[in-house]
Structure 1
Amino acid sequence: MRRCVGGISWATFLVALGFPLYFVLRKRLDTAHLGGLWFDILLTFPMAFYFATSHGSISELFIHSPKLYLLLPLLAIISAAAFMSYTVASKLLPFSLFGLLGYVEPVLMVAVALMLGERISDQQWLTYLPIWIAVALLALNGGIYLRRTQLSIKTQSRLDGSQ
C-alpha cells in the first residue's frame, strides 16, 4: 500500500464515509438488527474468501504456521462478536452518541498501545492531542448535559410532589 505524507489514504477516506453511510442505510432499510448483519456477512463472504485464497503466499503462511488454522477462526468469532455488539449499539443508542463513541474507540486503542510500550513521536502529538482534547470536551459536555437533565428531573418531581 502506498503512503503519502500529508495526505489521506483511500482506506481512511472509505471508512470515514462508508461507516456513517452504512449505518444510515441500515436504519433507513430497517435492517439494523442481527439478521441484517448476517445478511451483510453472507454478501461479503465470497469476496473475502476469494482474497484469502487467491494469493499463494497466504497458503504458504498456513503451511509454515499451522496454529493459524485455530487462530484465524478464533479471530473471526471475536470479530463477529465485536461487530454484533456494534450493530446492537447502533440500534439502541441515539445516533449522535453512537457517532461520538466512534471517536472514543481509537483514543482508547491508542491508550492501550501506550500502556503496552508504544511511543508517540513528537510530530504525531500535533495530531493526537487535538483529537483527545476534542473527545474530552465532548465527554465533559455530555456529562454536564446529563447532570442538568438529572437535576431538572429531580426538581420537576419535587414540584409535582408538592402540588
Structure 2
Amino acid sequence: MTNRTLTTLILRIAGIYLFTKIFDHFGTYFFSVYGTATMARFDELLSEPIDKFYFTGTFLTIANIVVSLFLFIKADWISKKLVKTESEIKTELNPKSLTKVILLTVGVVWLAKMIYLLPDLIEYCTKLISRLNGNEEIEMPDFALANYILKAVLTLIIIFRIEKISNWIIKKI
C-alpha cells in the first residue's frame, strides 16, 4: 500500500462518516422544525427563531451532504494534491508502533468529537456570557464544559507529544 492510496482510503472513510452524521440529527432537527412550524399557535409566537433555526440547520445539512460526497467522490484527486510523491508504506508491528497507533487513534477520535461538539460549546459560552451580564432568565444548556476542556487538552497533548508518550509507556512495560 502506498501513502497516496492510504490517504484516498482515509478521505473516503471520512466522507462516509460525515455523511452518516446526517442521520444522527435527522429526527431531532427536521421533525422538531416541521412539527413546531405546523402548529398554528407556535407558528405565530416563534416565527423568527424557527425560521433562523430552519435556514441555518438546512444550510448546514446541505453543506454536510456536499462536503461528504465531495470527499467520497474526489478522494483520488484530493490525495494527489495532498501527497506529491508516492512511496510504499512499510511498517513492522512492535510495541512502540502499536502504542503510537492506539494513541493516535484515541487522539483523532477525541479531536473529531471536539469539532463535532464545537457548536454546543459556542451556544453554552454565549448563554453563559448573557447570564453573567445580568440576564437571569437564560436557561443554561446541559454541557460538560470541564470534560470538553480536559479532553481538548489531552487530545492536543496526545497528538503533539505522541513520541514522548509512547517512549514513556514503553519504558513502563
TM class, shorter-length: 0.3 to 0.5
TM-score, structure 1 as length reference? 0.34
Higher relative contact order (CA 8 A, sep 6+): 2
